[in-house]
Amino acid sequence: MRVLKLKDYVRGWIIGDITPAVLQTKAFEFCVKGYKAGDSEAAHVHKVATEISVVVTGSFKMNDTLLKKGDVLVMEPNDVGQFNCLEDGSTAVVKIPSVRGDKYLVE
């Protein structure tokens, strides 16, 4: 048995073709992320991966869609997403497959 700390991983990503990782795999990525109200991410797409996000706590806006606790968001390849945290919260995210560099900013 091992006990690890989420803070020791980059932005909550603990599984995938990433370093460091609890489990190194190209099959998928997994993360748990905490956000503060006002946090945001620039508009971007993934050209290969599908990203599935579950709102665990808080509220968020993805594009013009309000997301709250229990909502599941599925972003298919080439879907544009611009993310804003409205209320302190957290998400759990799976990205399939794990592809390094598969994040492209959209202007």
pLDDT digit string (tens) for 71-89?
Answer: 999 999 999 999 999 999 9
Instruction: Using alpha carbons, list the distances in angstroms from residue 80 to 18, 35, 70, 74, 84.
Output: 23, 20, 22, 11, 14
Q: Which of helix, strand or coil describes residue 58? A: strand
User: pTM, whole model, 2 decimals?
Assistant: 0.92
Distance CA 33, CA 31 (A): 6
User: What is the CATH code of the structural domain delimited by 6-105?
Assistant: 2.60.120.10
pLDDT at residue 43 tops 90? yes
Distance CA 50, CA 36 (A): 25
Q: Which of helix, strand or coil describes residue 72? A: strand
Amino acid occupying residue 36: K
pLDDT band of 38, cuts 50, 70, 90: very high
pLDDT of res. 19? 95
Structure tokens at 31: 């993360």
Strands 104-105 and 23-24 turn out to be: unpaired
pLDDT band of 25, cuts 50, 70, 90: very high
pLDDT of res. 107? 81
Which residues is 94 bridged to in the sheet?
A: 30, 52
Give mean pLDDT, residues 39-56.
97
Distance CA 96, CA 91 (A): 16
